[in-house]
Amino acid sequence: MARIGRQLYRRVSDRAEHRCEYCKLPQAAEVMDLTIDHVIPRAEGGPTSLSNSALACLWCNAHKWKSTKALDPRTGRWVRLFHPRRDRWEDHFKWAPEDLARIEGRTATGRATVDLLEMNSGRALAIRRWLMRIGLHPP
């Protein structure tokens, strides 16, 4: 986190209400600090700034890596990923009505992001089920 700076980290974390802005994992469920994701990757010229930062868990950040696009599993088309600064989470994702631990994409962007970030991995589902039992999920 040396390149981010404490003040920026705190502002990003407060703005995100201390949850991953992709999968909504709360900081309270994670031993490590949630990370700062460059929404537009540094490799593509994305700045280290409040407007290009999103709070992300290690899992989501590692899977997103340098991506800005991914395949929509329904259509097989390349689409842009969810952009936490421009998009509203609720417009692109929802908790599956039959299983609130699962994230469903509402749009091509939502589906592609769920798929690339493997937001419904077995481990993620297990963690969300535990969080449900202690009232931390869904947010």
Contacts of 137 (CB under 8 A, 6+ apart): 24, 26, 100, 101, 128, 131
Closest approach of Cβ 23 to Zn ion, in Å?
3
With beta carbons less than 8 A apart as the criterion, state whether 57 and 20 touch.
yes
CA distances from 116 to 46, 62, 81, 87, 139 (A): 20, 10, 9, 17, 22
Q: Which is nearer to Zn ion, 23 or 101 (CB)?
A: 23
Q: Which is nearer to Zn ion, 20 or 114 (CB)?
A: 20
Report the chain's C-alpha Rg in angstroms.
Answer: 14
Closest approach of Cβ 2 to Zn ion, in Å?
22
The sign of the CA dihedral 39, 35, 67, 121 is negative
Closest approach of Cβ 59 to Zn ion, in Å?
5
Q: Which is nearer to Zn ion, 23 or 127 (CB)?
A: 23
**What residues make contact with Zn ion under the rule CB under 5 A?**
20, 22-23, 25, 57, 60
Q: Which is nearer to Zn ion, 22 or 93 (CB)?
A: 22
Residue with tokens 């409040």: 50
Closest approach of Cβ 72 to Zn ion, in Å?
20
